[in-house]
Structure 1
Amino acid sequence: MKDNRYPPDWPQLSLEKKQSVSWVCERCGVQCLKPGKGKGLSKGERYRLRMAVHHCDYDPGNNAPENLKALCLPCHLHYHRRQRGNITPGQLTLRFC
């Protein structure tokens, strides 16, 4: 389910950001895969080389260029694990028997 805090043009905005950095992670410098690339790589390798666009202030509604950072998925996860990011209530739950 798509988070409704993202604007309708988010797919285009995020694509433009990724293209603006030539698909290179702005944190670690790894060359990420462009869509449709990576055939012959393992699922784990393709995952590590996928790119996401991160909101520095953790607000998906703030799409100012200076608030967006293109990151490989491991770097993106690093930011969200440390800050707990933009997790919405109920998104992560533990169920006990």
Structure 2
Amino acid sequence: MASKNRSRYPSNWDTIALEIKSKSDWRCTRCGMQCLRPTDKKEGLSRRERSIKTLVVHHWNYTPEDNRNENLAALCSACHMLFHTRRRGNISPGQLSLW
């Protein structure tokens, strides 16, 4: 996501995130929704549909510097938003634009 503060994430964040997503077989670990893989064709999907089916990696303790496997979970955009809305003020403008 371009909107997140990348300085809090390690330089190999993209590799870490890809590993977590691959381990979940590109499914949300909360609701089980099958999300888009990088190789999936996205033609015919609206921006909103692509956003909803995007898998992201969530930090359970909301600390981007803590990248232990047990602190990371692959979540669909909706489930990720659910966790962040429970923690008031922890939503980026980029996340809000999904909805």
Regarding TM over 0.5, the answer is yes
5+ long unaligned stretches in structure 1: 93-97
- The equivalent residue for 2:81 is 77
In the alignment, does 2:60 pair up with 1:53? no
Q: Structure 2 length normalisation: TM-score? A: 0.81
Alignment map for 1:2-81 (pairs within 5 Å): 2-3=4-5, 4-37=7-40, 38-81=42-85
**Aligned partner of residue 8 in structure 2, secondary structure:** coil
The runs of at least 4 consecutive aligned structure 1 residues that moved more than 6 Å come to none
Q: Which has the higher helix share?
A: 2
Q: Structure 1 length normalisation: TM-score?
A: 0.82
Q: CA 1:15–1:48 in 2, change beyond 3 Å: closer, same or farther?
A: same
Aligned residues: CA RMSD: 1.9
**Identity in percent:** 47
Q: Does the Cα contact within 8 Å between 1:52 and 1:71 map onto a contact in 2?
A: yes
Larger Rg computed on CA atoms: 1
